[in-house]
Structure 1
Amino acid sequence: MLKTVSAFAIGLVFGIGILLSGMANPAKVLNFFDVAGTWDPSLMFVMGGALTVTAIGYRLVFRMNHPLLASGFSLPTRKDLDVKLIGGSAIFGIGWGIAGFCPGGLVPALGLGRVEPFITAAAIVAGMLAVRYVTSIRSGQAAASAR
């Protein structure tokens, strides 16, 4: 129960921060990318503030033996860069630049009553399902060729 309440509180604070900073407004995000036109540098300050808070938080949290609500830290073990990571990052960035929504700003924007966030969410889900489908086909072909 405490984990659920904690997750809700963290999500609520994050969502309020996204709304207050204007990052749920795709025009604000798209204006950041429009360097030759209506450039708006405020996204840079939002990201800088987020990185600062995150850096301080990580330094404090990793001094602990384990997280407050878990028995251990769940950290990634892979440290290499592969085609899937770089390609996925590029597709994510292109989608963000086209739609003006990243998933963090998309979730609070779903509650604003506009259709664009729902279209963007549907496109993200479709992309995730497409990757899952292609991956299953590839692993099926790999298993068939191994026989």
Structure 2
Amino acid sequence: MHDDVLRQAKHTYQERCRHDVSEGKGITQSLHFIRGDLIKPARIHFPDVEFGERVTARGQQRTIDLARLETHSAVVGLLLGRRTQRVALSRARREVRRWQRRQLCSVDYIREWSQLLAGPVPALVDLLRADTPTATRLRQNSPFWLVLRRH
């Protein structure tokens, strides 16, 4: 009987976690009623809760990544403007040189951003607009923060 109650509690908790994650609420620590008994999930170890926490963390990271994508849309506007393009590229290149001089980030970021900033603007614009793993990774460490701060 005790195993049945625990199995039911685990199932109910997993369902609640799935529902809360799908509703964007994350994992709750609320109390659940099973057959009239009050069960506190914190007292029962459910390895699958880690899955729910990972799903929540990924959702939160996705929100951050989409915000960075939206922020870089403003950079795209600057890069497409005749008067603002030169200034935006100059400031971004200066920032990458600062990273290199002070060893502020990975050599990979410095190399990739240096190549992008030296290349054709349409390729840079395409990258800043892209919702790809590479674009997302590069936006996490972008030399354009200074450009955005000043505009």
TM-score by length of 2: 0.29
**TM-score computed with the length of structure 1 as normaliser:** 0.30
Structure with bigger gyration radius: 2
* RCO comparison, higher one (Cα < 8 Å, 6+): 1
